[in-house]
Amino acid sequence: MPTTIPTTTSSTRPGSPSAGDAYFETDTKNYIIYDGANWRGYVSDGVAGVSNSFSGSFDGSNDYVDCGSISSMSGVSAQTLSVWFKPAVAGEIPNIGWWSSSTTSYGWSSSGSIQTFNAKNGVNESFDVASSVPNDTEWHNYVAVFDGGSVAIYIDGSSVLTGTASNTTLATSPATFRIGQFGTVSLYEAGLYDEISLWDAALDSSDVLALYNNGTPIDLSSAAGGYDKQADLTHWWRIGDHASDTGSGGSPANGDTISNVENAANSGTNDGTGTNGPTFSTSVPS
Nearest C-alpha neighbor of 95 from the set 191, 211, 12, 18: 191
Q: Find all residues with CB under 8 Å of 129, minimum gap 6, and list them.
A: 93, 115, 116, 117, 153, 155, 160, 161
Closest CA to 171 of 129, 127, 138, 124: 124
Q: How far is the CB of 265 from another protein (least distance, A)?
A: 20
In the complex, least distance from residue 11 CB atom to another protein, rounded to whole angstroms: 15
The nearer residue to another protein, 45 or 136, going by C-beta atoms, is 45
- In the bound state with another protein, the residue whose beta carbon lies nearer, of 7 and 172, is 7
226 vs 247, which CB is nearer to another protein?
226
Specify whether the CB–CB gap between 85 and 186 falls below 8 A: no
Q: How far is the CB of 205 from another protein (least distance, A)?
A: 18
107: three-class secondary structure by DSSP: strand
Give the nearest distance from C-beta 269 to another protein in angstroms: 28
CB 224 within 8 A of CB 48: no
Residues within the interface to another protein (CB under 8 A)? 1-7, 24, 26, 29, 31, 42, 44-48, 223-225
Comparing CB distances to another protein, the nearer of 7 and 101 is: 7
Closest to another protein by CB, 35 or 42:
42
- Rounded least distance, CB 1 to another protein, Å: 7
Give SS3 for 117. Answer: strand
Q: What are phi and psi of 215, to 5 degrees?
A: 100, 5
